[in-house]
Amino acid sequence: MTVSKTAVDLAKASRSSRKEPAAAVAESTALQMGELSELLGYSLKRAQLKVFEDFLRCVAPLQLTPAQFSVLLLLDRNPGRNQTEIANTLGILRPNFVAMLDGLESRDLCARMRSANDRRSHILALTDKGRAVLARAKKLVAAKHEARLNELLGSANRAALLAMLARIACEF
Amino acid sequence: MTVSKTAVDLAKASRSSRKEPAAAVAESTALQMGELSELLGYSLKRAQLKVFEDFLRCVAPLQLTPAQFSVLLLLDRNPGRNQTEIANTLGILRPNFVAMLDGLESRDLCARMRSANDRRSHILALTDKGRAVLARAKKLVAAKHEARLNELLGSANRAALLAMLARIACEF
DNA sequence: CGATATTTGATATGGTGGATAACAATTATC
DNA sequence: GATAATTGTTATCCACCATATCAAATATCG
């Protein structure tokens, strides 16, 4: 019994009391977002979902997720590294990185090679096919995905946005 | 057999070849992020994780997740709405919203009331306890969470960031 | 009116990402 | 050389997301 009387009244009247003013008012008016519009985390999350969604669309012909793309990028720029190093810099836990690598390796995009110095670790390397796929992915991302963001925000704004996001990601 | 020769060489030498230059070089140099630094989606995701993490910390005494907080906010600003309406505006699928509401209702933060007009739908309402918890949560979020973001970015930058994120979330 | 479609909340279920514990093989430390 | 730490791996759990389906209630339309 902790619901206020006004809430009970609203339950009785519900939305029907809103039919009165005009004739054919569009029923079910848009909800008020209230303080939600000021919550940075909320917009951050929704923007992130949209951006990932667009990424998947743009790079769909190559069947690459954002996470997979980031792995390929890292492998290309950092040859000779092992699973732990790659996973750590991407914020992926080692156990979860195993299945991810299995997927990439089964598609012949990268390869695990036992290190001669430390026979525990697997040195990761892109295959030729991996390099080719990465190159095509980069082009798709630049031409379709990032280009669309640039179009929406403008180049300067996009750079400012990226700088602030990187700031939050690193220093927060 | 698609791994290049340079990759194989690197696997043999691995990181050991880097011990040569200086005496006690910090082994395992930081990896190059490469194009990852320019990928908006990547920074977006990492920033979002950090912000949610901080939100959970700041509002920990009330045991509220960002999603739960957003539901309480919406219920407060939009009395008389049913589950479908609330779930839809938050981007939550109706089936998944059921368990979420169960959690909030079992903690006596909100209540489902059968509508008198449409006996299918549940009108949602905050309880008195729900309003009290929401009020305390708002204070914690403003005083600790958003204040910390303001401190990091500055008020003007924070507003610009929010505007761009909302833009992406809505128009992208 | 009455048959049919639609809506609402709910359940079941599967998929994916993320987190921890534990293990064998290997290497580092003392 | 005994003990500790590291690496990749497996198993397992939990949160979140998505789909199909259902019963009850309502809307639609002949």
**pLDDT for B64-117, tens place per residue?**
999 999 999 999 999 999 999 999 999 999 999 999 999 999 999 999 999 999
Q: How far apart are the first and last CA of chain B?
A: 42
The C-alpha atoms of residue A74 and residue A16 are separated, in whole angstroms, by: 57
- Name chain B contacts of A44, Cβ cutoff 8 Å: 44, 47-48, 51, 165
- pLDDT by residue (tens digit) across B54-67? 999 999 999 999 99
Low-confidence ranges of chain A (pLDDT < 70): 1-28
Say what percent of chain B tops pLDDT 70: 84
Nearest to A109 by CA among A87, A81, A143, A136: A136
pLDDT, tens digit, 9 for 90 and up, residues B139-149: 999 999 999 99
In the block, residue with structure tokens 């006690």: B24
pTM (two decimals): 0.88
> Which residues in chain B touch residue A149, judged by CB atoms under 8 angstroms apart?
40, 168, 172
Q: From the CA of B97, how many Å to the nearest CA of chain A?
A: 17
Is residue B22's pLDDT more than 60?
no
b or e along A91-129 (b: 16 or more beta carbons within 10 Å of the residue's beta carbon)? ebeeeebeebbeebeeeebbbbbebeeeeebbbbbbbee
CB-to-strand C contacts below 7 angstroms: A 65, 67, 92-93, 95-96, 117-120; B 82-84, 94-95, 98, 101, 112, 118, 120-122
**For chain B, how big is the Rg over CA atoms in Å?**
24
B 54-93 residues with CB < 8 A to A: 54-55, 66, 70, 73-74, 76-81, 85-86, 89, 91
Q: What is the pLDDT of residue A72?
A: 98
